[in-house]
Structure 1
């Protein structure tokens, strides 16, 4: 306007032409809704920018009435238009220019740099080979094969996800349920392939992945509307709060990967924001009463509040999420540090939920929402993990933990995170760095009597041996992840687990409704004592921990007890002798009558590698690497040695056969006790070893056993309560 070339005559022509164009457009709006909206917006802008024009008010009225036709303005209901970053959005919204307001909203998301997500590092996005496969499998041309937590279609090939292509057409059928397991239904609605696909998009800039996200998530939204409040949301397959939380945590990351995608339109952005708001509100209104579910739900709500501060309910989400986490960090854990759910998998996951929630708060200037004692509350939790990990960075396969899902890399990453929380813990540093830094732990016997887990190790290196025992206060009726396994154990020696827990194989349903889950949860599938092959009840406790030394020998001992049946209590005492071998003393005492079974489920191996020794009441291994075990049992009376076909599962729907056996004793009602003493001797050559066992006297307050191993007679191993 300051140009000397812009004369009054030129200005007059410009304004006359502008009026002519505005009138022409107003009189000839397109019948196409999108085109009409664009035309109407031009007329509206002419009236607002040039209010001095005679027909400016008519243009504003005409444009505003038409330009917003077909525009979904509901997103403004979830936005905090007073948020500093939305100034331009608010300015356009206040004058009724929703079209421009949405344009400014898109500009805001394209350029926003706040909302620092610890789960996203755009400076280094390299999808793994599996993530690349999952990204492609999910495409329409591959029949919407959505990755769902290691549920695979064996008929389609190795590690190929199931197809969710509709049988009646080329759309998606979200009701397809290939395995019939409830957990698979839940996991489907967590959309676990979407972040891998987003990472693949970011690294390749191939818009087909963005378009697939828009298509698939858009279809999910249409086919899976949120149930009305007051309905049974807990068991709703697609809106169970735990699965909503998993979805929401990922949704908080997806927009960052797709931030610059040309496929993400204003319409799609508003759809994503509205449903992100819906997800967070749904969780906040339907928190689980307790358990690991509640922790993950609170993490999701916290993330939404921290990463989307421009949404109207963000402040409420931050208050709610951090408040629940601040309570759960103590209420969901026993005083000894164990998660009350009693499962190591969820114990580790819970710590990560707490840690990453604090991380996102710190990155976004909201650390003060967590109390000063929040981090310290996690110290015992992390101590549990450090003590439960075997020296080769594997974990016990007990309950629902699924050993195969925890790799050494993942475990060491978690241990590193723990050391960062507690930099004064030099033992954690040693574990995190695989011994390269820090101080090697000295603890050999670690007890967690509240959680019901116990560790007896000779040391912390791969040259050592380690036994993990389980005798929990709760069973499956109190804690869903528990099994009928009290007083069971695993024995790890120099990298080989000689008594791996049977695992869970099937995750969905309950033990009463799911035959597979019931099979793996059964007491006979564990290394414990049963009566007539029935499942044990649970109220386990530790009676005593002690050590003895003298005459050149020493041992560590634990006495555990479980009231397994009405009229029959199982007491198991474990002696770790001279850091060389273990002796297990099992006592089944009480008034009950029936067949008492001592169950052993052995490591996998061929007939030549794992050998039954029926006449000796045990077995031995003969692995070529020289890492072997000799097992011998002496009972208080004659009984039967029963060979069985065992099974073991390290991941969902994966199983292998193995050898198993029972030592069965008949107990009468007037017989106060039947007993077993078992020696577990690590050796390079079992054929060169000799073991003898002599049971001593017994009473309800004490017992003893003598053993001779390798020609050495050991002093009596005993306990007194």
Structure 2
């Protein structure tokens, strides 16, 4: 990591002792910290406000030690700012916190923090990220009221200010995302530090004797300086991806935390206007985030909700545009539309840990939180409470036309079958993945085909997705937001049909994936692929990422069946096996997030000039076995499947990779389906809107709302 200030262990220990034991050097204006003397700091506070008479009196006679004490006493006891817990601290949802799963997480976190401080490896910019160290201290303090945790929290703040008093005094602060901006002053760390870790420390520890007067004064000086720093940056100096959510929470929190500062109203307005535009500028009309990453879309959405919730606590809703919540409702709606049966959240692009995504409540918590702002949404309530309250959404399967995401579900119950196909762009930011036409599948509510979420864009194509690889690579998608998403969608009570096309230029590999869902339990996946140019042999791999290591392969049919006792399973049945081989590989990558969850990668591989492969995915109830008895292929691309219960299916595919698909069923429901009649849902005018709203080069809207810092 470049340009980060490094400190030797010995120096750090000496500095730690000095920070806690000694004040900074004084001058005629009092003590100088964070680039401000006491005199300069109090000049930036409206001392005529109620409750500040003692501070005003001591400042008038330049009694700086007493002025500092009076300010600290005021902060501890004032009643004009409500001291609520930030959302990263509060628990919510049916599976509320880490504590049941990791009962000693706080002790481990704090022990690790203390060890890093002791051996000199602590770096303050990491303390800002994710608020983890502060949360550990807060948790232990709530359990024990031990002042040593308040002392450590105070040290964290004072150590940061000692090392990095103010960016203009130490650094060129222009972020360039090429290693030129020191981590402490990246705009993301500014937001996480000021909006979460420092705010939570102040709320929790401000009345503890170890959270000293000097700590409160130093924190106040630094926060006001940091707000000045951030609000003075131009749009091109700030980040405009998911970071903006955290950045504006930080700026808004400082503005709400210090109403005594005349600039506070401007800081709050700045944050509100930026996120108001953010919901339209970075989120497409169907709620898809321009980075095309589920997890990071919610980091941005968190900021949009967070400042409104803090405004509710502070009684400042009148500062928001009347349609602020209405404008952001599509972001919560997006969450519900993608919600799988177990309420974890369908992840595409880079996500968070696999443990979080598959084993902890995710969508439950997001929608429960959204209900605080949208109490009229009974469909949110139904999904979040798993059907115990509210009303069933008025749709089941859904296509998000701006994101190119196809969601097929048998229903909204927690034991439903569910498949998601990603047919949209791969995104324009580092959290996007090369996951063209990948699928994820839940069988009777249990996740089985998964998206690993691993790594960033260059790593995200490395066998981490259930899609087709051509000569070891995925096909390219047209990632120009001004071009059509080449996808098709049909949905009826009997079936869903989706088609995604990866086809860019005249020389790149082409992959067309079609999925036909015969409700409620059969998914036909038709893959066509080729490499334009002189005919030659290529290697085609169909990768299936399974969230279990209990896998069996039928050596004759190459059917792959998971075998988890007492849980739903999945049968992956090729309808033609000639020329293919099958392998079951261990977890394909050394994924740091995925060490304790079993996984297997299955590949159906062939070498040929072109690929045509049809796979039947059959969800299996607990205890059930593979119901497919025989498969065969006849002339004219006609596939026949016989089930052990007597049902027979005849699948005919018309010529070409967009030919219609005919299915005739004998026995059972006796269905007759013709799928593949619909073109893309997006008209030309929509493509223009995508280009205008999602292109990272288009700064017009936010530029018009920039506010310069007053002199």
TM-score band w.r.t. shorter chain = 0.7 to 0.9
SS in 1 for 2:245: helix
SS in 2 for 1:164: helix
Q: Tell me the distance in 2 between the aligned counterparts of 1:124 and 1:231.
A: 33
The verdict on how the C-alpha distance between 1:707 and 1:337 changes in structure 2, with shifts beyond 3 A counting, is same
What's the CA shift for 1:590?
5.7
- Number of the residue aligned with 2:515: 574
- Number of the residue aligned with 1:495: 445
SS in 2 for 1:201: helix
- Number of the residue aligned with 2:160: 220
- Number of the residue aligned with 1:88: 54
1:225-624 aligned at under 5 Å gives the runs: 225-228=165-168, 230-233=172-175, 235-250=181-196, 251-286=198-233, 288-402=238-352, 403-406=354-357, 409=361, 411-475=363-427, 478-504=428-454, 506=455, 511-512=457-458, 518=459, 521-522=460-461, 524-539=463-478, 541-547=485-491, 554-563=494-503, 566-589=507-530, 591-592=532-533, 593-606=536-549, 609-624=550-565
Q: Tell me the distance in 2 between the aligned counterparts of 1:127 and 1:112.
A: 31
Contact kept? 2:663, 2:674, Cα under 8 Å: yes
- Number of the residue aligned with 2:5: none
The more displaced of 216-225 and 702-711 is 702-711
Contact kept? 2:343, 2:362, Cα under 8 Å: no
The verdict on how the C-alpha distance between 1:371 and 1:449 changes in structure 2, with shifts beyond 3 A counting, is same
Q: Tell me the distance in 2 between the aligned counterparts of 1:426 and 1:190.
A: 31
TM-score, with length taken from structure 2? 0.76
SS in 1 for 2:304: helix
Q: Tell me the distance in 1 between the aligned counterparts of 2:292 and 2:211.
A: 44
Q: Identify which of 87, 105, 122 aligns with 1:174.
A: 122
What's the CA shift for 1:211?
1.6
Q: RMSD across aligned C-alpha pairs, in angstroms?
A: 3.6
The verdict on how the C-alpha distance between 1:494 and 1:298 changes in structure 2, with shifts beyond 3 A counting, is same
Greater C-alpha radius of gyration? 1
- Number of the residue aligned with 2:614: 677
1:13-162 aligned at under 5 Å gives the runs: 72-119=38-85, 129=99, 133=104, 136=107, 142=111, 145-146=112-113
Deviations 1:291-348 (CA, angstroms, capped at 9, x unpaired): 1111221121011101221234312211211121111121110111111121111222
- Number of the residue aligned with 1:156: none
The verdict on how the C-alpha distance between 1:412 and 1:651 changes in structure 2, with shifts beyond 3 A counting, is farther
The verdict on how the C-alpha distance between 1:687 and 1:363 changes in structure 2, with shifts beyond 3 A counting, is closer
Contact kept? 2:141, 2:149, Cα under 8 Å: yes
Q: Tell me the distance in 1 between the aligned counterparts of 2:629 and 2:272.
A: 60
TM-score, with length taken from structure 1? 0.75
What's the CA shift for 1:601?
2.5
Is 2:620 the counterpart of 1:690?
Answer: no
The verdict on how the C-alpha distance between 1:137 and 1:367 changes in structure 2, with shifts beyond 3 A counting, is same
Q: Tell me the distance in 2 between the aligned counterparts of 1:138 and 1:661.
A: 37
Q: Tell me the distance in 2 between the aligned counterparts of 1:215 and 1:631.
A: 56
Q: Tell me the distance in 1 between the aligned counterparts of 2:90 and 2:496.
A: 49
What's the CA shift for 1:642?
4.3
The verdict on how the C-alpha distance between 1:400 and 1:97 changes in structure 2, with shifts beyond 3 A counting, is same
SS in 2 for 1:329: helix
> How many residues matched?
604
The verdict on how the C-alpha distance between 1:107 and 1:628 changes in structure 2, with shifts beyond 3 A counting, is closer
The verdict on how the C-alpha distance between 1:330 and 1:199 changes in structure 2, with shifts beyond 3 A counting, is same
SS in 2 for 1:662: strand
Q: Which runs of 5+ in 1 are unaligned?
A: 1-36, 38-63, 147-161, 177-184, 513-517
The structure, 1 or 2, with the larger RCO (C-alpha pairs under 8 Å, 6+ apart) is: 2
